[in-house]
Amino acid sequence: MEDVRTLTIDRVHQGLRARQFSAGELAREALRIAEKENGKFSSYLHFCPERALEAASRVDAQIAKSEKLGELAGVPVAVKDVISTRSVRTTCGSRLLENYIPPYDATAVIRLESEGAVILGKTNCDEFAMGSSTENSAFCPVRNPVAPDRVPGGSSGGSAAAVAAGQAVVALGSDTGGSIRQPASFCGVVGVLPTYGRVSRYGLVAFASSLDHIGPLARTVKDAATVVGDRIRRGPDVFRRLGCEIREVSLPHTDYAIACYYIIATAEASSNLARYDGVRYTFRTRRDPTLLDMYRNTRGEGFGAEVKRRIILGTYVLSAGYYDAYYLKAQKVRALVARDFTEAFRSVDAILTPVSPFPAFKLGEKMSDPLEMYLSDIYTITGSLAGICGISVPCGRTSAGLPIGMQILAKHFDEHRMLRLAHAFETAGGFEV
């Protein structure tokens, strides 16, 4: 069998049709590699071999009957552990949900499996998807397969690392302010932020509901497009040397984006995480004499430092006397950020930016400085605030060999144009620039 670590979706389908391997054989080999090598990078928090083999057997039965296969038939897939999976633990990287087993699947998971995907397991992430390095996981940090002494980015660092290490062909992540695109950049893979509303959030454990997206990470643009449901046959020329006209655009309210994002996102996080109180969700740490003691002890012991920080910030900006000064004003600025993009897209088809101001940094390097960590998102949060689509594609490496990502942003529901541009860039050898 061809090395699982190098497979693409097309190569999986070619191998299945040519009977070079069965879906069951591929699933067992993918599980073996992922489980064996997980100690190196901690990409996965847990595996679901029974579910994977059941899905693979369904694909093999379809092949035996010469039935039409789904777009993801037999493809080994990893799913970020903030996305609900029926009968498989969904911890959100938090001790609070360490033993939570959802009774239902997220819509995105249902759609993957309806196309024949083989889900291997759940990937590590920053607690409740709050972080830019996956060092905030309550269980263990993830290491970047490109440079194991460095972070893979966050919060979808486990999904990005799994794809980069060949532990899955594609993976699902979630992106609130850059949590798919930034890890993709750090790990040298492709990551897609779909337009807000294109992919159902049902079954995604909420961080900031008006900003959360589910999207794919993959080795190639074509594979990412297949998961999104927009398969690419050809691509146009890109960049000036290939005939594109390059123009500068103005996004004047970008200077306020970081402050705007961290007000809105923390406010929504404070509201969404209020349910984890020891009554409706999560464990109770002990027998407490009062209700207040129970809340304090459950949340104090269950949440990590970064989640607590964001809950406190969010509660503050929503409190009496500060709501208008912070939260309401931030929502007005968000509208201005969105308007900037609307105006820019009147004159251009897509916007190119860096993904991050720096490449993957060393483990522990920024943990003591939350503000510097938040600046990791400076190029990605504007697209999140506007609700438009974006993609991170590898565009080269630093002198130290670390991957660099380029971001392509497009207007609402214009994923097709965005993916064509990214595919053309990839085809032209742009990944090796």
Please tell me the predicted confidence (pLDDT) of residue 111. 97
Please tell me the predicted confidence (pLDDT) of residue 432. 62
Instruction: Report the run of H or E that residue 322 belongs to, with start and end.
Output: none
Q: Which range of residues forms the domain containing residue 56?
A: 4-228
- Those residues with Cβ within 8 angstroms of residue 3's Cβ, 6 or more apart along the chain or in another chain: 166
Q: What is the tens place of the pLDDT at every residue in 2-56? A: 898 999 999 999 999 999 999 999 999 999 999 999 999 999 999 999 999 999 9
Q: Which tokens is 340 given? A: 């900037």
CB atoms within 10 A of CB 74: 31
Please tell me the predicted confidence (pLDDT) of residue 329. 97
| 159 HSE (CA, 13 A, CB side) | 38
Residue 148 included in any domain: yes
Residue 111 included in any domain: yes
In this prediction the pTM is 0.94
Please tell me the predicted confidence (pLDDT) of residue 282. 78
Residue 14 included in any domain: yes
Please tell me the predicted confidence (pLDDT) of residue 233. 35
Please say whether the beta carbons of 2 and 63 come within 8 A: no
Question: Of 22, 43, 155, 376, which residue is the catalytic one?
Answer: 155
Please tell me the predicted confidence (pLDDT) of residue 87. 97
Please tell me the predicted confidence (pLDDT) of residue 433. 47
What is the rounded CA–CA span in Å between residue 96 and residue 353? 37
Question: Of 22, 137, 159, 179, which residue is the catalytic one?
Answer: 179
Q: Which of 134, 188, 229 is nearest to 396 (CA)?
A: 188
What is the rounded CA–CA span in Å between residue 359 and residue 326? 32
Please tell me the predicted confidence (pLDDT) of residue 387. 98
Active-site residue 155, yes or no?
Answer: yes
Residue 349 sits at the vertex; the CA angle it makes with 343 and 352, to the nearest 5 degrees, is: 90
Tokens 């529901």 belong to 413
Residue 134 included in any domain: yes
Residue 284 included in any domain: no
* Average pLDDT in the chain: 94
Please say whether the beta carbons of 202 and 290 come within 8 A: no
Domains of the chain: total: 1
Active-site residue 179, yes or no?
Answer: yes
Residue 209 included in any domain: yes
Please tell me the predicted confidence (pLDDT) of residue 280. 77
Q: What is the CATH number of the domain that holds 46?
A: 3.90.1300.10
Question: 335-348 burial string, b = 16+ CB within 10 Å, else e?
Answer: eebbebbeebbeeb
Amino acid residing at 184: A
Residue 390 included in any domain: no
Instruction: Report the run of H or E that residue 82 belongs to, with start and end.
Output: none
Please say whether the beta carbons of 214 and 172 come within 8 A: yes
Q: What is the tens place of the pLDDT at every residue in 378-422? A: 999 999 999 999 999 999 999 999 999 999 999 999 999 999 999
Question: Of 22, 42, 43, 80, which residue is the catalytic one?
Answer: 80
What is the rounded CA–CA span in Å between residue 79 and residue 64? 28
DSSP β-ladder status, 213-218 and 389-397: unpaired
What is the rounded CA–CA span in Å between residue 203 and residue 83? 6
Residue spans of the chain under pLDDT 70:
230-231, 233-242, 285, 432-433
Please tell me the predicted confidence (pLDDT) of residue 77. 98
Residue 53 included in any domain: yes
Q: Which of 108, 115, 121 is nearest to 50 (CA)?
A: 121
Please say whether the beta carbons of 432 and 396 come within 8 A: yes
Q: Which tokens is 93 given? A: 């990287």
Active-site residue 80, yes or no?
Answer: yes
